[in-house]
Amino acid sequence: MTSRAAPVAVVLLVAAAGLAGPHQATALPGGGARPAASSAAPEGPALSVDTTTGRKAIDPHIYGINFADEALAKELRLPVRRWGGNATTRYNYKLDAYNAGADWYFENLYYENGTADLPNGSEADKFVEQNRRTGTDTVLTVPMSGWTTAARNAACGFSIATYGPQKANDAQWRPDCGNGVKTDGTNVTGNDPAETSVPAGPEFTKGWVEYLNRTYGTADDGGVRFYNLDNEPDLWSSTHRDVHPEGTGYDEMRDSTYATAAAIKDADPGAKTLGPVGWGFNSLVYSGLDQKTCNEKGGDCWSNPPDRAAHGGQLFAPWYLQQMKAYEQTHDRRILDYFDEHIYPQQTGVFSGDVDPQTQALRLRSTRQLWDPTYVDESWINQPVQFIPRMRSLVEENYPGTKLAITEYNWGALDHINGALAQADVLGIFGREGLDLATLWDPPASTEPGAFAFRMFRNYDGEGGSFGDTAVHAASADQDKLAVYAAQRSGDKALTVIVVNKTTVI
């Protein structure tokens, strides 16, 4: 991974077995690193590594990807792969069909896998089977909105023939399917959800888990290990407003999580659940109902939203975790295993393919929102985010023992060296900060630079060489110029160091 026009990423592998004690490293002009004992006169910030401090296990599940193709998954020995996204909210495993929601004119769509033996041979089955071939754990998203797709048909949520002219429609494939927005800019309301969907409660999800157990074994016997409790429910009032036009409030999230997670545990006690799967920073603070209400009202609503006020003035995430703890105390059973939130950088141009010099620099420093208390997010957020430490504090204060997950994130431009550098930095941060599971949204092609960021950690030499599994202390005098991550491998005790050059020095 080199470039004459952009920063480069360099992996320093110290191969001496049993290496211990403090070891100093200093930056080279080209962005590399070498032990300080060298006679070179380096430029740039000093780097240090100390294998005696900061030691913590790195969970390999942080190196996951949504929908990675089989060849890349095999090469990376991909630890976990997620079936997620908006289309999974109304996926019907019995029909191998889903509704695209706002992503594509609220249309019912289905996979061409044959219908005679469904649910056998479905797209979800093929997803699990690929993971079994590559030794990859599965995160499967299960529905929790109360609805699933009704049929393998061409129905859509906002038929123009039924609901009148709309601002946009699927002109190429299904011209009658509108976007649900009237020509005056207001939303179509009062549509019938039964035109596309049927009710689906916890028993539907339980039936799917039971089917998967019969087909692939239980979680403890090589079957599906992880279940996402739907996808970004705080956005259902926009992404799936044809069936869920109201914002998802505190009480609905508690009650639907109780019912769905318990159904999963009833069917497979060894399965692990992940929730509430919110879309981003606001998901820690507001319910979906408050987000919808305050987006419409604006003004002072954000400082005192009504759903929060009705729940003792508590922010959403701590309240949610307290409710999960209360369930365990009452029922003597944990039903939430991972506190899972998504994060997409909100800084202008970062989550995109933009690679102008200003965006490249912004992309590389914006990874600091994951951990740095001194970094003020350069977006509408306009405050320190400290996303992973914030999540950890929420768990420690409200439901200790819950693990941390980020099942969607993307820093953009994975087809460019700049995006690859940001991705490598993010993976280093995940390990150092003690995240337990993460899956990149929208995987890069195996030939794109973003894939090489994963190779640096999972297979840097093409022969299975990997970054260590025990993080150790690593520090840079200026993390914005050179970011450094170090870990020791348990097998051969080798120390591995990854240095990310965020400057244009080559």
pLDDT digits (tens, 9 = 90+) for 481-496: 999 999 999 999 999 9
Burial of 298 per CB tally in 10 Å (0-12, 13-18, 19+): exposed
pLDDT per residue as tens digits for the range 187-232: 999 999 999 999 999 999 999 999 999 999 999 999 999 999 999 9
105 CB contacts (<8 Å, ≥6 apart)?
156, 157, 158, 168, 169, 170, 174, 177, 178, 179
- The model carries a pTM of 0.91
> Which residue spans within 112-239 are E strands per DSSP?
137-142, 147-149, 169-170, 174-178, 197-199, 226-229
- For the chain, 506 residues long, the average pLDDT of each consecutive 10-residue run is 35 35 32 41 81 96 97 98 98 98 97 87 97 98 97 97 98 98 97 97 98 98 98 98 98 98 98 98 98 94 97 98 98 98 98 96 97 97 98 98 98 96 97 98 95 96 95 94 95 93 73
Show the DSSP H helices in 311-443 as ranges: 316-331, 357-366, 387-398, 417-433
Pairing of strands 80-83, 64-66: parallel
Amino acid identity, position 315: L
The answer to whether 86 and 231 have CB atoms below 8 angstroms apart is: yes
The conformational region for residue 232 under phi > 0 = left, psi -120 to 50 = alpha, else beta, is: left
For residue 242, give every residue at least 6 positions away whose Cβ sits within 8 Å of its Cβ, in sequence order, or none. Answer: 99, 101, 106, 157, 158, 180, 191, 193, 196, 197
Neighbouring residues of 404: CB distance < 8 A, sequence distance ≥ 6: 338, 339, 340, 388, 391, 392, 395, 434, 435, 436, 437
Which residues neighbour 487 within 8 Å (Cβ) at sequence distance 6 or greater?
Answer: 58, 431, 467, 468, 469, 470, 471, 472, 495, 496
Q: Are 102 and 168 in contact (CB under 8 A)?
A: no
Residue 11 is predicted with a pLDDT of 54
CA 166, CA 155: separation in Å to the nearest integer?
A: 16
The predicted structure's pLDDT at residue 390 = 98
Q: Summarize the chain as % helix, strand, coil (round to 5).
A: 35, 20, 45
Q: What is the 3-state secondary structure (H, E, C) of 194-229?
A: HHCEEECCHHHHHHHHHHHHHHHCCHHHCCCCEEEE
Burial class (CB within 10 angstroms; exposed 0-12, middle 13-18, buried 19+) of 109:
middle
Strands 482-488 and 470-476: antiparallel
* Alpha carbons within 13 A on the beta-carbon side of 288: 26
> Hey, what amino acid is at 391?
M
- What one-character DSSP code corresponds to residue 440? E
Q: What is the pLDDT of residue 44?
A: 80
* 8 A C-beta contact, residue 217 and residue 209: no
Residue with tokens 């009704």: 150
